């Protein structure tokens, strides 16, 4: 039997967490057809993988890549680090379903995902069709439905509970989207409109997700001072809705919360003992990133983008916002937790000269109170400006990464504007270099498991995430001695080293460390 691709002499790390073994691997028609000793060299394409690791392609459990494919069809930042499947629609943000009447609000809400993409779809099904209408995509695509998107479709950016009818409509849209192939629902509970919702609303919606066998992913209500309460809320949703839970980009942010991952992880372990399927994902960096306007009080977003800009211009509202930020404790207050010096502007369409500077520096540069500097930026940029916040500590990251239920997600995207977070280009090789090879916090085999079979299990993907005969040939081949991330905060778009080949559904997409330009990705639907 001839193979399309034959990978010879590699160290197979199959994704189960078992120790590597030596074998050859044959691929035909996009699938793995043989793993073992293959004597004959009958293949169109032969890879000598001597001294290299052959592993399942990485699954980026936490991405925001849904609009990227319309500009960068290969999804270069992910493909070049060995990612063969991205999970999109996280943090409450998805680009479908769309209600014509609130499309402008949705576009502003999803602006962080990339601009200038025409929303030529309304239902989730139509969105997936549009994605398939692109002339090929570089990685496989998995989508979640954002709770914020559902809320906007039904009630715009209103800071209140949904009426009974509105909740029913959200449930209907969610059920329809699940039938059309979504894998679950995500929330972004620090972001408007997610921040306006109560736990009961999320439980009701999650029951719909549970009916379809999906899961609930949450950017929790607080990752700082109230992180323990936030984990409790996520667990309660899992318990009362009977839905598997994924805690997104788990962290304990802000110096005064360092070390509290001991408490959060203990709660998760207790929930798992109780029978609630809670897992987490994490990225291996001490800085987070989001849009700059999330420094504002949640109420400042009410009514949408233009209202937000008006509030930032109005002297009296400025005083109210300042007072709220200085005094109120019961919200994700990044300024209080991280401090001005640790908040770096990474994108500003109207003030490109401040990119790379922290808010302390900008305040000095402009000779203004930091609050006024911030409000000045946001009066013009609205929700367009982005930031990186240095707010985590290394021990928490290690503690979180070393738990068996932790998988890897980049939370990164590069819209081409400003400076992206280096996690966009470096997450997976950074785990393999820093936490596996240098710090030895996790073994190579366990790291691969966290990047492959564990997310596949959570997603219900039955033919990906492991190297098995009959599975899709999503494969990454790398040198365990040299693999390394090169992206830094100053040079965030540097692609990694040591990744020799990436194969997506049997299509060689990276060859000898270079992108081939071939696109093997598929849009996946949950069945």
Pick between residue 91 and residue 354 the one whose CB is nearest to Zn ion. 91
Residues near Zn ion, by CB under 5 A = 91, 219
Pick between residue 410 and residue 419 the one whose CB is nearest to Zn ion. 410
CB of 62 to Zn ion, least distance (A): 7
Spatial contact of 518 and 506, defined as CB atoms under 8 Å apart: no
Selection from 158, 420, 426, 150 nearest residue 291 by Cα: 420
CB of 74 to Zn ion, least distance (A): 24
Pick between residue 251 and residue 309 the one whose CB is nearest to Zn ion. 251
CB of 40 to Zn ion, least distance (A): 50
Residues 51-72: b if buried by 16+ CB within 10 A, e if exposed:
ebbbbbbbbbbbbbbbbbbbeb
Spatial contact of 418 and 280, defined as CB atoms under 8 Å apart: no
Question: How far apart (Å, rounded) are the C-alpha atoms in residues 370 and 378?
Answer: 12
For residue 509, give Cα distances in angstroms to 21, 64, 471, 500. Answer: 25, 21, 18, 10
Question: How far apart (Å, rounded) are the C-alpha atoms in residues 470 and 14?
Answer: 13
Angle between helices 227-241 and 199-211 (to 10 degrees): 40
CB of 248 to Zn ion, least distance (A): 5
Pick between residue 33 and residue 91 the one whose CB is nearest to Zn ion. 91
Pick between residue 90 and residue 99 the one whose CB is nearest to Zn ion. 90
Quick one: DSSP state of residue 494?
Answer: P
CB of 375 to Zn ion, least distance (A): 24
Residues 77-93: b if buried by 16+ CB within 10 A, e if exposed:
bbbbbbbbbbbbbbbbb
For residue 120, give every residue at least 6 positions away whose Cβ sits within 8 Å of its Cβ, in sequence order, or none.
126, 130
Spatial contact of 319 and 325, defined as CB atoms under 8 Å apart: no
Locate 84 and state its tokens: 């063969």
CB of 411 to Zn ion, least distance (A): 6
Question: How far apart (Å, rounded) are the C-alpha atoms in residues 404 and 145?
Answer: 27
CB of 227 to Zn ion, least distance (A): 14
CB of 230 to Zn ion, least distance (A): 12
CB of 424 to Zn ion, least distance (A): 14
Give the pairing of strands 184-188 and 215-219. Answer: parallel
| Backbone conformation region of residue 262, classed left if phi is above 0, alpha if psi is from -120 to 50, else beta | alpha
CB of 188 to Zn ion, least distance (A): 6
Pick between residue 61 and residue 476 the one whose CB is nearest to Zn ion. 61
Question: How far apart (Å, rounded) are the C-alpha atoms in residues 450 and 111?
Answer: 30
> C-alpha dihedral over 349, 224, 369, 385, to 10 degrees?
0
CB atoms within 10 A of CB 100: 9
């Amino acid at each position: 039997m001839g193979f399309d691709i034959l990978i010879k002499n590699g160290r197979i790390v199959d994704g189960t967490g078992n120790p590597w073994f030596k074998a050859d691997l044959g691929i035909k028609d996009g699938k793995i057809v043989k793993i073992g000793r293959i004597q004959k060299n009958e293949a169109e394409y032969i890879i000598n993988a001597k001294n290299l690791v052959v592993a399942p392609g990485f699954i980026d459990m936490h991405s925001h890549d849904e609009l990227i494919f319309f500009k960068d069809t290969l999804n270069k930042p992910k493909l070049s680090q060995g990612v063969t499947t991205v999970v999109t629609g996280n943090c409450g943000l998805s680009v479908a379903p769309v209600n014509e009447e609130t499309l402008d609000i949705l576009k502003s809400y999803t602006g962080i995902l990339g601009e200038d993409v025409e929303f030529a779809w309304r239902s989730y099904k139509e969105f997936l069709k549009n994605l398939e209408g692109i002339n090929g995509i570089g990685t496989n695509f998995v989508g979640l439905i954002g709770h914020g998107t559902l809320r906007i479709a039904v009630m715009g950016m209103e800071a209140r509970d949904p009426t009974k009818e509105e909740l029913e409509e959200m449930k209907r849209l969610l059920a329809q989207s699940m039938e059309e192939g979504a894998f679950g629902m995500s929330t972004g509970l620090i972001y408007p409109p997610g921040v306006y919702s109560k736990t009961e609303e999320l439980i009701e919606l999650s029951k719909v997700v549970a009916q379809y066998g999906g899961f609930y992913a949450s950017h929790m209500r607080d990752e700082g001072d109230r992180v323990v309460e936030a984990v409790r809320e996520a667990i309660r949703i899992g318990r009362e809705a009977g839905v598997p839970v994924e805690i997104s980009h788990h962290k304990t942010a802000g110096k005064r919360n360092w070390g509290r991952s001991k408490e959060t992880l203990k709660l998760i372990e207790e929930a798992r003992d109780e029978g609630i399927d809670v897992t987490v994902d994490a990225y291996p960096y001490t800085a987070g990133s989001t849009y700059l306007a999330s420094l504002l009080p949640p109420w400042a977003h009410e009514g949408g983008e233009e209202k937000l800009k008006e509030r930032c211009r109005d002297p009296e509202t400025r005083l109210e916002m300042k007072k709220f930020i200085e005094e109120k404790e019961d919200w994700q207050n990044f300024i209080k937790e991280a401090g001005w010096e640790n908040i770096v502007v990474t994108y500003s369409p109207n003030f490109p000269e401040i990119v790379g500077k922290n808010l302390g520096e900008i305040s000095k540069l402009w000779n203004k109170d930091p609050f006024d500097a911030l409000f000045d930026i946001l009066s013009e940029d609205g929700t367009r400006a982005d930031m990186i916040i240095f707010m985590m500590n290394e021990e928490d990251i290690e503690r979180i990464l070393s738990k068996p239920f932790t998988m890897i997600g980049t939370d990164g995207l590069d819209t081409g504007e400003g400076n992206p977070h280096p996690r966009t280009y470096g997450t997976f090789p950074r785990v393999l270099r820093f936490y596996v090879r240098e710090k030895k916090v996790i073994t190579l085999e366990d790291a691969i498991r966290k990047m492959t079979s564990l997310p596949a299990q959570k997603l219900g993907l039955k033919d990906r995430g492991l190297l098995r005969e009959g599975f899709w040939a999503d494969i990454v081949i790398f040198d365990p001695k040299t693999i390394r991330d090169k992206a830094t905060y100053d040079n965030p778009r540097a692609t990694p080293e040591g990744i020799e080949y990436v194969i997506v559904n049997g299509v060689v997409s990276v060859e000898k460390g270079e992108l081939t330009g071939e696109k093997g990705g598929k849009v996946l639907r949950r069945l």
